[in-house]
Structure 1
Amino acid sequence: MNDSKLVKYIAELGTRDRERLRQLVQSPFFNQHKPTMELLDFILKAITKENGQLSREKVYQKLFPKSSFDEQKLHNVMSNLKKLFHRFLAIDYIEKQPLQEDLYTLEAAFDRNQFELMSNSAKLLEKHLDEQQFEDYFFHYAQYRVAHNLGYYGGHYVDRTKSETLQAMLDHFDRSFLIEKLRNCCHLTANSMQVNTHYDFGLLTPLLGYIQTHYIDVVEPDKDWSIRLYWTILQTMRDEGNAQHYQELKKMLNESFDKFSPESQKDLYGFASNYCIRRSMMGDEEYKRELFDLYKRGLETGLLLNNGIITEFNYKNIATLGGNLREFDWTERFLQEYKAMLPPSKRENVYNYNLAYLFYNKKQYKQVLSSLLHVQFTDVMYYLNSNFLMLRTYYALKDTEALLSLIETFRIFVMRNKKMSPTQRKEYTNFLRFAKKLVELKHHGGTYTRSALEEKLKALRAKIEATDSVINRSWLLEEAN
């Protein structure tokens, strides 16, 4: 039984939650089946002991001492306990959500025609909602649920000519829908830009026009902050070349940050940072220092951490930028201090790659290759990033044979890999084409006269600058200079 999913799920609970689960299972309101209570006790005792074993036959004998082993009968008890475990999770989750129990009480009272209780619950809820600091998705959805019950109660039993409550119901539902629609479209648009995924965004295009007319270009800008936030974030990705959208995000960061819920604050910070990343990768150098300052702010405020964990992508971006800006001491401290906050399954891989990148920026090239030996290619991006770093290291060491071999292997991988988006594939193939030409010119420069080499490098720079899709353009231009 130790390998059953039920035992595994219970073992994953903390000590406090195990006790609360036991209390629920023993409560006659939820369960009156004694073998189910006893089964949970056996499981709890076994998982608290080192190498505690649960034999199906022995457990069955303790549950049903007067009958021979029946697999189906034991399965039924386990199934009942599993249902109670699911109920425990649901109740625990509801209890942790703000106002959720009060909303269910209101709706249950309406369903049971207990209208006095419903009215009293609605008054209490409206008071709590008035005290809410953020008008986010949940705020509007909760307002919708309150207005829904009061509006239809009034229409059926009081005065159907009064429409204010039902109009409020519609308004709050629209706002809750728009916020959640925009928020998800922001995250999925970002996902499709990073990996080769595609989504049908449905009503998004007509909604964007409606939002701009009714919520963005309005006389009173100091309202509907969540809608304005996610609309602006989406524009930074759909109209990337227009820096005005980013400036609006920056203004929200500096002047209106406390108007957003913690979740929206993370989105505001995260998407502003991602915009700076994309602009930096396109060669807009002025965004690098601004991004570095954003990263420092995110670490200081905890915005870059999720329950004490930093993602491998944020860790890499911070380390890369710190090295590029020659903030070597700060970056080395960051790598060491935040290593323990990486997800355990990826910790060593992420740390070794970023340590290699720091060595590269410090021109310690042999240490680069040594660190990269410990990096496993667990996904496409690690392969691309590690090979790009190795390419630059071979270039710095002037190991032409290894360099040209790597460029060809790299090119074949990019052309054959189906997980890369067409845009990514084009960016990398252009980079590798220019890198090969650069190697041929710089490492075989002795075959040209000085003036001929300068002319060829000048022509190469012009081609690099004229080509739209080239990743790591700044490195190519720097080395071709």
Structure 2
Amino acid sequence: MKSTKIYQVLDSLSVYELNRFGKFVQSPYFNQNQGLIRLFEQLIPFLKSKDQSDLDKTMVWTQIFGEETYDDARFRKLSSELLRLYEQFLAQEIYDNNPLHQANNLIEGISKKKIVKLYNSVVSSVNRLSERQLEKPASYFFYQYQLEKSQYNLTSEFEKQFKKKVKFGDLNIEETAKNLDIFYLGEKLKLFCMLLSWQDVTNISGTLLFMDEIIMHVEKFDYSQYPPVAIYYQIYKSYVEPDREEHFFKLKELINMYIHLFPVEEAKDIFGSAHNFCIRRINIGQNEFVRQNFDLYKEAIEKGILFYN
């Protein structure tokens, strides 16, 4: 039994995660198969205690189905269903930790059902959920774009039903477009920086569509208040103008200002770009960047980004 995929997956979870999954398994909204509940109940003592003794499938079967003759195909099917339930649990955990997803789905649901009487309360709930989103990478602006678009649809429905004229500003079209633009610019710059980083260590070639136009646009307008655009533009500059130290110090300043707004894995990559600049300078004899590199490591540790498990 311990060699099965479901056991090995569950064995990697903490006690806290096992408890949460247990509640998920027992929820009739997500699971109405009593066999899955009983299977999980048989596994949980071994999982929590990290018992090294063997766990025989026929013994587990007997605990679930009593005196019924062991059916390996049926048991494997039950194990597969528990694994699928765990996959649903993982997706639900991600959803529960993403207020913008919740906000967007809420307003989309109200709009589809045309429940315009809930318009004011839903808009308030959506704004509250949106404010709970602490991280603001490029994807944040895409979710905001979706949210604004759904709110536009709901506002249009509200206007139709109650025959009210809505001001252009209330239609949030400009805000919708702005969020889409910030997502596009930030994500495109991020991808371009990834390409440049690979080109820095390999012989791969290539470019991305519209990059010249994007760079010209970002240099023409002020995007310093938008973290993904500001940071990835500065990383880009550190790659294409490696001799200009001011790009590093500007990047370091932006990291200090904005790094807490990025997911940990993305924050690691951003720090990595700054580290790479330091290493390149150290390799050509500029030993003052040893201290700069040390400071970056120190900041990453203090912010809980380095050594994050």
Please classify the TM superposition score into its range, dividing by the shorter chain length: 0.7 to 0.9
Which residue is 2:179 aligned to? 172
Which of 185, 197, 214 is the aligned partner of 2:192?
185
Once residues 62 and 51 of structure 2 are traced to their aligned partners in structure 1, the CA distance between those partners, rounded to angstroms, is 23
Which residue is 1:216 aligned to? 219
Contact 1:136/1:260 (CA < 8 Å) preserved in 2?
A: no
Say if 1:111 and 1:207 are closer, same or farther in 2 by CA, change over 3 A: farther
Which residue is 1:229 aligned to? 231
Which residue is 1:62 aligned to? 63
Structure with the greater alpha carbon radius of gyration: 1
Q: Give the C-alpha shift of residue 173 in structure 1.
A: 1.1
Equivalences for 1:23-422 in 2 at 5 Å? 23-47=23-47, 48-117=49-118, 119-126=120-127, 129=130, 136-156=137-157, 158=159, 162=168, 164-195=171-202, 198=204, 201-203=207-209, 206-213=210-217, 215-218=218-221, 220=222, 222-241=224-243, 243=244, 246-254=245-253, 257-263=256-262, 266-281=268-283, 283=284, 285-286=285-286, 288-289=287-288, 291-303=289-301, 309=307
Say if 1:2 and 1:199 are closer, same or farther in 2 by CA, change over 3 A: farther
Once residues 306 and 45 of structure 1 are traced to their aligned partners in structure 2, the CA distance between those partners, rounded to angstroms, is 33
Q: Give the C-alpha shift of residue 252 in structure 1.
A: 4.4
Q: Give the C-alpha shift of residue 149 in structure 1.
A: 0.6
- Per-residue deviation, residues 20-44 of structure 1 (Å, max 9, x unmatched): 1111111222212111111111111
Any idea what SS the aligned residue of 1:2 has? coil
Q: Give the aligned length.
A: 299
What's the TM-score, normalizing by structure 1?
Answer: 0.55
Say if 1:127 and 1:18 are closer, same or farther in 2 by CA, change over 3 A: closer
Once residues 239 and 155 of structure 2 are traced to their aligned partners in structure 1, the CA distance between those partners, rounded to angstroms, is 45
CA RMSD of aligned residues (A): 3.2
Q: Which one-letter code corresponds to 1:212 in the other structure?
A: M
Once residues 133 and 37 of structure 1 are traced to their aligned partners in structure 2, the CA distance between those partners, rounded to angstroms, is 36
Taking every aligned residue pair, what percent have the same amino acid on both sides? 17
Any idea what SS the aligned residue of 1:302 has? helix
Q: Structure 2: state its 5+ residue gaps.
A: 160-164
Structure number with the bigger relative contact order (C-alpha 8 A, sep ≥ 6) is: 2
- Per-residue deviation, residues 282-308 of structure 1 (Å, max 9, x unmatched): x2x23x21x212222123323598765
Q: Give the C-alpha shift of residue 161 in structure 1.
A: 8.7
What's the TM-score, normalizing by structure 2?
Answer: 0.81
Compare 226-235 and 97-106 and name the one that shifted more: 97-106
- Per-residue deviation, residues 52-93 of structure 1 (Å, max 9, x unmatched): 322222222322224222222112211221111111111122
Once residues 138 and 278 of structure 2 are traced to their aligned partners in structure 1, the CA distance between those partners, rounded to angstroms, is 27
Q: Give the C-alpha shift of residue 130 in structure 1.
A: 6.0
Contact 1:141/1:176 (CA < 8 Å) preserved in 2?
A: yes
Once residues 192 and 98 of structure 1 are traced to their aligned partners in structure 2, the CA distance between those partners, rounded to angstroms, is 37
Q: Give the C-alpha shift of residue 146 in structure 1.
A: 1.8
Once residues 26 and 149 of structure 1 are traced to their aligned partners in structure 2, the CA distance between those partners, rounded to angstroms, is 34
Once residues 303 and 188 of structure 1 are traced to their aligned partners in structure 2, the CA distance between those partners, rounded to angstroms, is 27
- Per-residue deviation, residues 124-154 of structure 1 (Å, max 9, x unmatched): 3335646877754244223212211121233
Say if 1:174 and 1:51 are closer, same or farther in 2 by CA, change over 3 A: same
Q: Which one-letter code corresponds to 1:227 in the other structure?
A: V
Once residues 178 and 117 of structure 1 are traced to their aligned partners in structure 2, the CA distance between those partners, rounded to angstroms, is 35
Contact 1:107/1:118 (CA < 8 Å) preserved in 2?
A: no
Once residues 272 and 301 of structure 2 are traced to their aligned partners in structure 1, the CA distance between those partners, rounded to angstroms, is 8
Contact 1:39/1:63 (CA < 8 Å) preserved in 2?
A: yes
Once residues 51 and 135 of structure 2 are traced to their aligned partners in structure 1, the CA distance between those partners, rounded to angstroms, is 47
Once residues 61 and 80 of structure 2 are traced to their aligned partners in structure 1, the CA distance between those partners, rounded to angstroms, is 14
Once residues 180 and 209 of structure 1 are traced to their aligned partners in structure 2, the CA distance between those partners, rounded to angstroms, is 15
Once residues 209 and 199 of structure 1 are traced to their aligned partners in structure 2, the CA distance between those partners, rounded to angstroms, is 19
Contact 2:119/2:158 (CA < 8 Å) preserved in 1?
A: no
Once residues 29 and 269 of structure 1 are traced to their aligned partners in structure 2, the CA distance between those partners, rounded to angstroms, is 42
Once residues 304 and 274 of structure 1 are traced to their aligned partners in structure 2, the CA distance between those partners, rounded to angstroms, is 20
Q: Give the C-alpha shift of residue 8 in structure 1.
A: 0.4
Q: Give the C-alpha shift of residue 111 in structure 1.
A: 2.9
Q: Which one-letter code corresponds to 2:252 in the other structure?
A: L
Q: Structure 1: state its 5+ residue gaps.
A: 311-342, 344-481
Once residues 65 and 131 of structure 1 are traced to their aligned partners in structure 2, the CA distance between those partners, rounded to angstroms, is 49
Contact 1:257/1:265 (CA < 8 Å) preserved in 2?
A: no
Q: Which one-letter code corresponds to 1:141 in the other structure?
A: F
Contact 2:231/2:254 (CA < 8 Å) preserved in 1?
A: no
Q: Give the C-alpha shift of residue 201 in structure 1.
A: 4.7
